[in-house]
Amino acid sequence: MSKRNSSGIRERAVALIVLAAGESKRFKSRTPKVLHDLCGLPVIAHVLGRLAGLGAARTVLVVGREADSVKAAAKAVDPKIRFAEQTKRLGTADAARVGDEALGAFKGDVLVTPGDTPLLDPATMRDLLDRHRATGAAATVLSAHFDDPTGYGRIVRDPDGGVARIVEHADATEAERVITECNAGVYVFDRAALRSALTKVEAANRQGELYLTDVIEILRDKGERIEAHLAPDARQTMGINDRAQLAEAAAVIRAQIAHDLMRGGVTIEDPATTYIDATVTAGPDTIIRPMTFLRGATTIGRGCVIGPEAELVDCTIGHDVTISRAVARETTLETGASVGPYASLRPGTVLKPGAKAGTFVEMKKTTVGKGSKVPHLSYMGDATIGSGSNIGAGTITCNYDGETKTKSATIIGDGVLVGSDTMLVAPVTLAKGAVTGAGSVVTHDVPGHTVVAGVPAKPRRKRKPAPKDSKKKGNGK
């Protein structure tokens, strides 16, 4: 006895065939369209991710151009995915045949979908499967009404409202091109019916290709039942055939991302001018201001203020962090850190709790200790700064040796005061409590609690540690 779901519909095993072997000619790109970036993920990753909830017994991705790269992107989403290579691009029916062969002895329903439809709603896919099973059809087509159906295959209905055939735009008559109900390129087939019909498809069209849509006509001519399930929103069926459609899809996905974040407690002041990848997370009570770009594997804690005009790529942001008009890549900012405006933090930079990288500051592979400040107009590269230190305006770590092509480290201890316009010629260490005078060029290590000044800097005197209850005033704040 067949198992039925909560709606009383008979359940059957389902397999997926995703077609991703196209030439992408309209993209005019060296990169296959399924690998183009779409809100932080390749197009194919969005497609596979939205199909993941269907519980498919097997998933086959049909690849062609740049097959190895497409396979790698797919495996990142589904390590168990199977692949079938379409060596000659003879059309969608041939691609489906190649994919069907990779299913082996599978029995049940086969969902066939293009690899360039990243907006498909999982709920619509489940409804499509339910419609197919409830009617006992040999094939069920996903359709949608388009205000401008140009380029889409038209659904031609018979007098009883069934699907008579699907005609491609290039092969349609003038009367058929008036039809607005279009094929979304997504089908569910009974596996046995699909295999039988694929052997009968012929290239009887202007393009000389084998169309998967002809399978519908073959099954219809055999007297099989063909159904169509109308998608509630045509946008979700949109295929990406060129860069203009890629931008349209990105706008839809960005709106979904922003909606989900706002429902989770994040304030996004202007979603239309905020660009957030699908891979980004943010905690409640964080505020994201306009013209902010959040990319890659960026994670943001709670209570932060990000932007305006900030760009974060693959960053780890703690709680209560403030970032204004700054760019950061592969950077870690711990609780209470502040950045900007107009700062650039390059890979390997870490700001400990309460640390600051201020106006027109650039850092690379640098750790700034708890409560330490690099307030403005400085470059810190390959540096380690202890806690409670202050780096005066215009300070530079001279870390690159043009002769040996090596980069050396600068180590600044706790409670160090570096005067404005100091040049720290690495490798060099400023021990705890050291002070440099404005305009110093430091070429040797500075002992703890020592004041140095000059070009090159020379020790002037021992610095007396400030009383514990006094407030330190850093040079260059």
Contact, 432 vs 416, CB < 8 A? yes
What is d(CA 76, CA 381) in angstroms, rounded to the nearest whole number?
Answer: 34
Angle at 464 between CA 463 and CA 466, to 5 degrees: 120
DSSP string, 52-108: GGG--SEEEEEEBTBHHHHHHHHHHH-TT-EEEE-SS---HHHHHHHHHHTTTT--S
List the catalytic residue out of 36, 46, 376, 449. Answer: 376
The reply to whether 169 belongs to the active site is no
Neighbours of 126 (CB within 10 A): 14
Q: Which of 115, 108, 107 is nearest to 81 (CA)?
A: 115
Q: 33 φ, ψ to 5°?
A: -60, -30
Q: Kindly state the tokens that stand for 194.
A: 């699909």
Contact, 210 vs 89, CB < 8 A? no
Neighbours of 3 (CB within 10 A): 7
Q: Kindly state the tokens that stand for 230.
A: 């109308």
Dihedral of alpha carbons 113, 36, 331, 405, sign: positive
Contact, 267 vs 290, CB < 8 A? no
Q: Which residues are catalytic?
A: 376
